[in-house]
Chains A and B, each alone.
Chain A
Amino acid sequence: GQNIDQPTEMTATEGAIVQINCTYQTSGFNGLFWYQQHAGEAPTFLSYNVLDGLEEKGRFSSFLSRSKGYSYLLLKELQMKDSASYLCAVRDSNYQLIWGAGTKLIIKP
């Protein structure tokens, strides 16, 4: 079967750095997405990786290793507004997105 694993919950301090990991086992791979979802709101797109390596976008970076079935989302200079769930999703061989359950990130002052 297809599987996306992420930690259920993480806690970090305002101003610090946090890394959210995602491992996947899917039938085929056609890209990996990270989304942010604030409580009660829709998921919003953060980043896309299809080749190995690091993609940087401001305070957020996303890394991919296809050989290891592994990605991480790195958030720097954490702000209170970064408190949200972070969803990892992989596009499989059928071009459908397979979603992880999400990681709830709690930021403390």
Chain B
Amino acid sequence: IAGITQAPTSQILAAGRRMTLRCTQDMRHNAMYWYRQDLGLGLRLIHYSNTAGTTGKGEVPDGYSVSRANTDDFPLTLASAVPSQTSVYFCASSDAGGATDTQYFGPGTRLTVL
């Protein structure tokens, strides 16, 4: 693995179903983030984690949950999917506290909720 990986690449999901989007990084970054990207809008932060064992809410957390059991993994769960959660989801990581704290992104998961 080099960088950040996300799975699945894309998914079509029935409304009401539970879904977990996976994210793994091998850069030993302490901070990780989940964003959604919708047409015409900027990236919006869903949840973040500054270090393993801690998580925080972003701008649009409702309907989503996260966990950070270790440094490398940061899964995002939709407990009961709704059509408004149709979006492209990006996971990112950064070396928080580093010189620039630049965020690096995974390839994204395209999710469609019907």
Contact = CB atoms under 8 A, between A and B. Distances in A.
Interface of A: 4, 31, 33, 41-45, 48, 50, 87, 89, 91, 95-102
B11 to A, nearest CB: 16
Contact of B100 (A31, A41, A100): A31
B42 interface: yes
B104 interface: yes
Interface stretch (B12-20, B70-78, B105-113): B105-113
Contacts of A100: 42
A42 B41 contact: no
Interface of B: 40-45, 48, 58, 90, 96, 100-108
A48 B100 CA distance: 7
A89 B44 CA distance: 11
Contacts of B108: 41-42
A48 B102 contact: yes
